[in-house]
Amino acid sequence: MLNWIEKYRPRSLKDVVGHEKVKERLKRWIESFIKGKKEKPILLYGPPGVGKTTLAYALANDYGFDVIELNASDRRSREEIRRIIGQSAVSKSILGNRFIIVLDEVDGISGKEDAGGVGELIKIAKESKNPIIMTANDAYSPNLKNLLPHVELIELKPLKVNEIYKILKAIAEKEGLDVDDKVLKVIASHSAGDLRSAINDLQALALSGDLTIEAVESLPERNREKNIFDALRIILKTTNYKVATTALIDVDETPDVIIEWLAENIPYEYEKLEEIERAYDYLSKADLFLGRAVRRQNYSFWKYATNLMTAGVALSKEEKYRKWTPYKYPKIFRLLSSTKEQREFLKKILKKIGEKSHGSTKRVRFDLESLKMIAEHNPEMAADLCLYYELTEEEIKKLFKNANEIIKIMRELRKKRVKEQTSKVKKKEHLEEKEVKEEKIETKKEKKEEEKKEEPKDEKKEKEASKEDKKEKKKQLTLDAFF
């Protein structure tokens, strides 16, 4: 099956969407070259998928030039570049046509380690009698510092969402896809200006047979310099250790996500069983290191996992496969997406059980499975436990086959417990009232006793007072008699 990127690649500048000023500059540049003027090589730079290589090929086609292309990130040394490009820079094709030399990904050349690759590019740029177009994601990479004075820089901006949407719409119509406009717009929005990724996404979803809005909304955001499809292409195509290990530098995904992408796509790229076996062996070792990183909270293990899943997988093949492979989304992601609600529900249930049992996650899962078994054989006990764990009726309906029976028992238990609670409250209130009454009676008794105790004292005082009065009277009588 033909890659849709190649199938629908524009053959002429007039078919290239956007980049109007860049197209005009390229026309002036090539026409000046045709007139015999010496022009600096062009260095087109910008993020992946904005049309750098497409512009070079469309320009060559419009002006009748043949193309010699070299991916500089694969062929990096001085000898390799000279062998492939050297003679072509000063000669014509066998048909008498002139060449446009296209050097892709020149920022992938390392100045020190790639044995004079940048120096050879500078030499070719000075000596070439044919026009040269170079491409790079990052023109200001330190590797290209010495090259920049010898080239003309032209920046390509990411395409707008509406421009990408129109291209996707046209492709969908030509392929006869029954796809909603909203799906195409979401793909365009997710692409972050990367047309190649948007077309790859559309083709991958079309091949999977799932062009629903749910499937497309699970697409990864591509607001990064390199997306996961670019990384897969590098790892699964290259046989260079260094290239493979740098494939994930600008990919905004964690190793545990990348490992799933690789596991899904290795069998589609590699054809020999022994290569597939070796690749999965490296992936399994990488997975062990990822597990250790999580368990020990030591994420320095990630670097070992990354090397195993990139260089290990890349070097598992004996040679590069020069075919186009439609990379697919991992089935596990689709499964996780479709079961997200179920997993959230399970997480909620486990949290409720854990709050009551204070057990580990493993223990709580065991408790839940035990509860399901109890529900089958002893609904009364299950209902009692559900009340204890404070599970709702909706949650019970999702958990148990005999949910209606358990709910019925729960309601009866709840009523019974409410009655018992009400009875306890009334009994308590009755006891409190009784205590209050008893206290009042006791208080009255105490008051009476105190009053009784006080009465004899008063009588004694009255008697003493009476005696005193009598004495006074006697004294008075005696005095009266005397006088």
- Each residue's pLDDT tens digit, 363-372: 888 888 888 8
Question: What is the DSSP secondary structure assignment for residue 139, as one 8-state letter?
Answer: T
CATH homologous superfamily of domain 4-155? P-loop containing nucleotide triphosphate hydrolases (3.40.50.300)
Rounded CA gap, 400 and 410, in Å? 13
pLDDT band of 458, cuts 50, 70, 90? low
Distance of CA 115 to the CA centre of its chain: 39
The answer to whether residue 265 scores a pLDDT higher than 50 is yes
Residue 241: what pLDDT? 84
Bigger pLDDT: 324 vs 238 = 238
Tokens of 411: 């309601």
Range in 32-36, 199-203, 453-457 with the lowest mean pLDDT: 453-457
Residue 25: what pLDDT? 92
Q: Which residues contact 204 (CB under 8 A, 6 or more apart)?
A: 326, 327, 328, 329
Rounded CA gap, 206 and 211, in Å? 6
Residue 437: what pLDDT? 80
Find out whether 50 is annotated in a ligand binding site. yes
Range in 143-147, 196-200, 224-228, 276-280 with the lowest mean pLDDT: 224-228
Q: What is the dihedral of CA 393, 395, 401, 405, to 10 degrees?
A: -20
Mean pLDDT of 328-335: 74
- CA angle at 326 for the pair 324 and 332, rounded to the nearest 5°: 150
- In 3-state terms, what secondary structure has residue 95? coil
Bigger pLDDT: 276 vs 8 = 276
Mean pLDDT of 440-452: 75
pLDDT band of 108, cuts 50, 70, 90? confident
Residue 288: what pLDDT? 94
Residue 116: what pLDDT? 64
Mean pLDDT of 154-163: 86
Rounded CA gap, 59 and 13, in Å? 6
Find out whether 326 is annotated in a ligand binding site. no
Residue 28: what pLDDT? 92
pLDDT band of 270, cuts 50, 70, 90? very high
CATH number of 161-217: 1.10.8
- Distances from the Cα of 77 to the Cαs of 229, 234, 238, in angstroms? 26, 18, 16
- Greatest mean pLDDT among 1-10, 39-48, 207-216, 223-232: 39-48
One-letter amino acid for residue 174 of the chain:
K
Residue 360: count of CB within 10 angstroms of its CB? 10
The answer to whether residue 335 scores a pLDDT higher than 80 is no
5 contacts 106 by C-beta, under 8 angstroms: no
pLDDT band of 252, cuts 50, 70, 90? low
Rounded CA gap, 248 and 258, in Å? 9
Residue 392: count of CB within 10 angstroms of its CB? 11
Residue 233: count of CB within 10 angstroms of its CB? 19
The answer to whether residue 114 scores a pLDDT higher than 50 is no
Helix 331-338 vs helix 255-269: crossing angle, to nearest 10: 130
Give the chain's count of helices (H) and strands (E): 21, 5
Find out whether 166 is annotated in a ligand binding site. no
Mean pLDDT of 449-458: 64
pLDDT band of 196, cuts 50, 70, 90? confident
Q: Is 286 exposed, middle or buried (0-12, 13-18, 19+ CB in 10 A)?
A: buried
The answer to whether residue 131 scores a pLDDT higher than 60 is yes
Tokens of 235: 């790892």
The answer to whether residue 113 scores a pLDDT higher than 50 is no
pLDDT band of 463, cuts 50, 70, 90? low
User: What is the sign, positive or negative, of the torsion defined by CA atoms of 398, 404, 407, 411?
Assistant: positive
Residue 320: what pLDDT? 82
Residue 482: what pLDDT? 45
364 contacts 354 by C-beta, under 8 angstroms: yes
Find out whether 142 is annotated in a ligand binding site. no
Q: Is 121 exposed, middle or buried (0-12, 13-18, 19+ CB in 10 A)?
A: buried
The answer to whether residue 285 scores a pLDDT higher than 90 is yes
Rounded CA gap, 29 and 65, in Å? 14
pLDDT band of 289, cuts 50, 70, 90? very high
Mean pLDDT of 66-72: 77
Q: Percentage of the chain with pLDDT > 90? A: 14
Mean pLDDT of 321-327: 78
pLDDT band of 91, cuts 50, 70, 90? low
Find out whether 340 is annotated in a ligand binding site. no
Find out whether 53 is annotated in a ligand binding site. yes
What H or E segment, with its residue span, contains residue 71? strand 66-71
Find out whether 379 is annotated in a ligand binding site. no
Tokens of 320: 């590069």
One-letter amino acid for residue 314 of the chain:
A
Residue 427: what pLDDT? 82
One-letter amino acid for residue 72 of the chain:
A
- In 3-state terms, what secondary structure has residue 224? coil
User: What is the sign, positive or negative, of the torsion defined by CA atoms of 361, 366, 367, 368?
Assistant: positive
Rounded CA gap, 153 and 142, in Å? 15
Q: What is the dihedral of CA 366, 344, 374, 398, to 10 degrees?
A: -160
Strand order in the sheet with 132-136: 66-71, 99-104, 132-136, 42-45, 152-155
Find out whether 220 is annotated in a ligand binding site. no
Rounded CA gap, 187 and 183, in Å? 6
Partners of residue 103 on adjacent β-strands = 70, 134
Residue 398: what pLDDT? 86
Q: Which residues contact 369 (CB under 8 A, 6 or more apart)?
A: none
Residue 28: count of CB within 10 angstroms of its CB? 11
pLDDT band of 479, cuts 50, 70, 90? very low
The answer to whether residue 156 scores a pLDDT higher than 90 is no
Mean pLDDT of 26-39: 88
- CA angle at 268 for the pair 267 and 274, rounded to the nearest 5°: 35
pLDDT band of 97, cuts 50, 70, 90? low
